[in-house]
Structure 1
Amino acid sequence: MRDEKMKDLKKDGHHKGKGHGSHHRGPKTFRRGRALAFLEMMKLKRSTIKEQLDKPEFQSINQILVGELKAIDMLINEFTQLFEIQEGEEKEAINHNEEGMVQNETN
């Protein structure tokens, strides 16, 4: 019995453990989902800062807000390049997260 498992391991180059062939999301997909969620959070912060630039009550810190906006733009660009995130992928992840939230609410 053990010899058969070793043959399978040698033949395929990897072990077929529990859940082999299942349709569950793997750890890479999970981490990528978290990266996309972080990117979406950064974009939300960016839009908040952008709105503050137009409000008169924030005029005294206008230069600070401009600096923060430039910094967050740089962070978003570097993060997008580092994780090789495409624009369509971001929208897909947002829709997937919203579907998950709806399913959790119905359970």
Structure 2
Amino acid sequence: MRNEEFKENPRRRNLDGDGRKEHSRHHGAKTFRRGRAIAFLERMNMKRSTILQQLEKPEFQSIQQVLVGELKAIDMVINEFSQLFEIQESEITDISE
């Protein structure tokens, strides 16, 4: 019965014809996903600011090179993620506020 149902509605079948609905990058809850992407960037910016604060404290002097490496890595992820999802800085809430 399920296979008959999917045969009647070809839009519901994927290329293999197994009856599962195929997910597309262009359909679905774009607003929800964009909100989650922006929330992820905000968390990354929070982590970035934490590392910057640690760099200024003398008790983290012994691991300063590690912190600098983490800072560079987080900056790279933030930049690539922002470009991939086409997120402007104005869409991200400023952590310093």
Bin for the TM-score computed over the shorter chain? 0.5 to 0.7
1:43 paired with 2:45, answer: yes
What do residues 38-95 of structure 1 show as CA deviations (whole Å, max 9, x unaligned)?
Answer: 000000000000000000000000000000000000000000000000122223xx9x
**Could you say which residue in structure 1 is the equivalent of 2:36?**
34
The unaligned stretches of length 5 or more in structure 1 are 1-25, 95-107
Structure 2: distance between partners of 1:78 and 1:88: 17
TM-score scaled by length of structure 1: 0.60
Query: Does 43-52 or 26-35 show the bigger shift?
Result: 26-35
The unaligned stretches of length 5 or more in structure 2 are 1-27
**Could you say which residue in structure 2 is the equivalent of 1:70?**
72
Kindly report which structure 2 residues correspond to 1:1-107, keeping only aligned pairs within 5 A, or say none: 27-91=29-93
TM-score scaled by length of structure 2: 0.66
- What amino acid sits opposite 2:73 in the alignment? A
Structure 2: distance between partners of 1:90 and 1:64: 27
**Could you say which residue in structure 2 is the equivalent of 1:101?**
none
Task: Give the root-mean-square deviation of aligned CA atoms.
Answer: 1.5
What number of residue pairs does the alignment pair up? 67
Query: Which contiguous aligned blocks of 4+ residues in structure 1 show a shift greater than 4 angstroms?
Result: none
